[in-house]
């Protein structure tokens, strides 16, 4: 069983509301019609899908499977983070509001960034209705 309230008590947690605030700030940036910015966002989405899929499956892997796939999971996480950083960097170059990164926190807080990948997919899924 998953208890969201217990999760929120962790130092590196991210609430639904925090994630939604960051996501909406990113969508304000996407009002910019720069094609490359939109391509980078698509790469963020694609890498969030790959990483979140692995992260979800992690719950069902045996100990052996986890050992076998741990480096690949880390690689997927790194790819998501690299893509999000590239998106941020271009937004900065375009002089767009990038204050959302402060709310996301340091990239050294990998769990928080990984949680955000899952939230992105949640919001994208609901937005697609």
Question: pLDDT by residue (tens digit) across 55-113?
Answer: 999 999 999 999 999 999 999 999 999 999 999 999 999 999 999 999 999 999 999 99
Which of 84, 114, 111, 115 has its CA nearest to residue 100?
84
Q: pLDDT band for position 26 (50/70/90)?
A: very high
Mean pLDDT of the 30-45 span: 97
Residue 2: the pLDDT is 93
What's 10's DSSP letter? S
pLDDT of residue 57: 97
Single out the residue of 59, 65, 64 nearest to residue 2, CA to CA: 59
Domain ranges of the chain: 34-127
d(CA 29, CA 37): 9
Q: Write down the mean pLDDT value for the chain.
A: 97
**pLDDT confidence tier of residue 122, bands split at 50, 70 and 90:** very high
């Amino acid at each position: 069983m998953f208890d969201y309230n217990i999760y929120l008590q962790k130092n590196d947690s991210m609430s639904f509301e925090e994630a939604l605030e960051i996501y909406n700030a990113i969508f304000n940036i996407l009002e910019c019609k720069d094609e490359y910015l939109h391509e980078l966002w698509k790469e963020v989405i694609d890498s969030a899908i790959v990483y979140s899929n692995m992260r979800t499956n992690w719950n069902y892997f045996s100990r052996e499977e986890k050992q076998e796939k741990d480096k690949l999971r880390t690689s997927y996480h790194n790819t998501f983070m690299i893509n999000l950083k590239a998106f941020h960097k271009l937004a900065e170059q375009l002089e767009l509001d990038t204050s959302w990164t402060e709310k996301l926190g340091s990239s050294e807080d990998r769990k928080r960034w990984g949680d955000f990948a899952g939230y992105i997919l949640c919001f994208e899924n609901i937005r697609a209705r």
